[in-house]
Amino acid sequence: MVIRPRTAEDLEAVRAVLAAEQLPLDALEATEGWVAEEAGALIGHVALEAAADAVLVRSLVVAPGHRGGGLGGRLMQAAEAAAGARPRYLKTDTVGPWMVARGYRLARPDEIPAGIQATSQFAGGACACACTPVLVQGLPSAPKGPGFLARGGWLIPALPLWFLAYHWLEPAANALTARVFHLRLDSRLGSAVAFFAYDAPKVLMLLSLVVLGVTFVQTFLSPERTRDILARRAGAWGNLLGSLLGIVTPFCSCSAVPLFIGFVRVGVPLGVTFSYLVSAPMVNEVALFLLLGLFGWKIALLYAGTGVGVAFLAGWVIGKLRMERHLEAWVMEIPYAAQAAEESRLGFPARLEIAVQGVRDIVGKVWPYLLAGIAVGAFIHGYAPEALMAHIMGKAAWWSVPLAVLIGVPLYSNAAGVIPIVQALLGKGAALGTVLAFMMAVTGLSLPETIILRKVLKPRLIAVFLAVVAAGILLVGYLFNALL
């Protein structure tokens, strides 16, 4: 066995091994890498992605059958020797304990330089979730200080202040509109301004609290663990479990391809995989808690139940059609061997610190879209005539549900950005079924996700996927318009 620098001729074999383990392929050719070879076969790989005065350790993989013999450590020695005195960063949710034993520690958010945050695994290319720990080696030890309080413990005494501020938001928004801007609350402009002044801080506060809690919970449940659970289920129970797990696991559109490949290659049935892929973005856990806070438990439960129902139906139908032949051929050619991923044994302070960083990452990225959605909602609230809105999106308009779906599909927004628009539409007389169909189309029939999935699905399977999900959303819209 020999460890040598990677060459351009090795890239194809390296990509196949990384894809089989669901590791990101973004910007691989721009990294400096090392491969382990035995009898002409590639059995291991590691790479460094340079970032100014630091490096990102990435793409570490050891082939099945060669694990447990120290090969991973020898690959890391080669990478660390090349890194020299530069600090070394690693983003992982599977080999944390092993890396800690090698001298790595959890990096504080302020210790991650801009150059590292601009690398492919941080800047969106690999779409690593905010709940994934970042480890570092080569920096001075974390300074001793307040400890738990500095790492997020201050949130515990801050929660009563959060609830107190939340309670006074509406009176403060009305006072701002009437006394500062000198607008009548019953005027069109005054109504719109009061809506925005109340909803903007309210939704941002709710979103921050929900992301904090959800990201903390997600440190216990990685996508790899979800994959292993689903691999043991088939039939209708598998579809139901996939739909439910989609609610609580980290997901975003650009993770669709690696998740899809990993699920299929480990033996998760195609229909169960689709149930998960439909549920994960549609029945978004953040959206559910926002719906709960804004509309109450009935609408939140209705949205969750119907979203899971659509995901279950889509996966069940695709599974019955047995459309595995409509996967791109290269997907099934990637070798895969199951492995027991070692979960990171993080303590409570570390998990809380990751949750706080998740709030910074997620809220920091979505707030412009959120405010844009609230602004649209404020305009609808203040200026859209109730009679016109009821005519276009009311129960009596048979075309309102398909029109809502058609409008929602090309929109690129997460569920949190759509909710303020949903709130305004419902307040103006739009039917609940029509509004639910619009929200599900934005999240469940996302055009960006569909384009990304084209890499692994042939056009016929894409068409069936879109048709089944669209039919389920239409059914939900018409059903709720008829019953409520």
Residue located via tokens 């856990």? 285
Contact yes or no for 418/436 (Cβ under 8 A): no
Enumerate residues 6+ apart whose C-beta is below 8 A from 112: 89, 122, 134, 136
**74 pLDDT above the threshold of 70:** yes
Query: Residue 129 has what DSSP assignment?
Result: -
Question: What pLDDT, in 10s, does the model give residues 51-68?
Answer: 878 999 998 988 877 877
Question: What pLDDT, in 10s, does the model give residues 232-248?
Answer: 666 788 888 888 877 76
Decide which of 35 and 442 is more confident. Answer: 35
Q: Give the C-alpha separation, 78 to 81, whole Å.
A: 5
pLDDT given at position 340: 40
Which residue type does 404 have? A
Contact yes or no for 7/37 (Cβ under 8 A): no
Confidence category of residue 45, pLDDT binned at 50, 70, 90? very high
Contact yes or no for 447/253 (Cβ under 8 A): no
**pLDDT (mean) for 21-31:** 83
Pairing of β 32-38 and β 2-5: antiparallel
pLDDT given at position 434: 87
Residue ranges per structural domain of the chain: 2-137, 223-345+384-483
**pLDDT (mean) for 173-192:** 91
**176 pLDDT above the threshold of 90:** yes
pLDDT given at position 374: 82
Which residue type does 307 have? G
Q: What are phi and psi of 112, to 5 degrees?
A: -95, 110
CA-wise closest residue to 76 among 38, 40, 48: 48
Q: Give the C-alpha separation, 438 to 400, whole Å.
A: 10
Neighbours of 475 (CB within 10 A): 17
DSSP 404-435: HHHHHTT----HHHHHHHHHHHHHTT--HHHH
Q: What are phi and psi of 299, to 5 degrees?
A: -70, -40
C-alpha torsion 208→209→215→218, nearest 10: -150
Residue 169: half-sphere exposure toward Cβ, Cα within 13 Å: 18
Question: What pLDDT, in 10s, does the model give residues 244-273?
Answer: 877 766 555 445 555 666 677 666 788 888
Residue located via tokens 């959800």? 214
pLDDT given at position 153: 64
Most confident of 2-6, 251-255, 330-334: 2-6
Confidence category of residue 36, pLDDT binned at 50, 70, 90? very high
Pairing of β 88-91 and β 134-137: antiparallel
Dihedral sign, CA of 277, 456, 127, 413?
negative
Q: Read off the tokens for 202.
A: 């309210």
Enumerate residues 6+ apart whose C-beta is below 8 A from 117: 123
Averaged pLDDT score across all residues of the chain: 78
Confidence category of residue 344, pLDDT binned at 50, 70, 90? very low
Percent of the chain at pLDDT exceeding 70: 77
Q: Give the C-alpha separation, 155 to 162, whole Å.
A: 9
Helical residues (DSSP H) of 135-177, grouped into ranges = 155-167, 169-175
Most confident of 5-19, 105-119, 227-241, 300-314: 5-19
pLDDT given at position 342: 40
pLDDT given at position 337: 41
**83 pLDDT above the threshold of 80:** yes
CATH topology of domain 2-137: Aminopeptidase (3.40.630)
Note the pTM of the prediction, 2 decimals. Answer: 0.55
Q: Read off the tokens for 33.
A: 């890498």
CA-wise closest residue to 107 among 85, 134, 144: 134
**193 pLDDT above the threshold of 90:** yes
Decide which of 181 and 129 is more confident. Answer: 181
Decide which of 87 and 391 is more confident. Answer: 87
Looking at 71-80, 269-278, 337-346, which range is the least confident one?
A: 337-346
Question: What pLDDT, in 10s, does the model give residues 269-326?
Answer: 888 888 887 787 677 666 677 677 767 888 888 878 888 888 898 889 888 888 888 8
**450 pLDDT above the threshold of 90:** no
pLDDT given at position 143: 52
Neighbours of 32 (CB within 10 A): 15
pLDDT given at position 345: 55
Decide which of 114 and 339 is more confident. Answer: 114
Contact yes or no for 228/266 (Cβ under 8 A): yes
Neighbours of 470 (CB within 10 A): 21
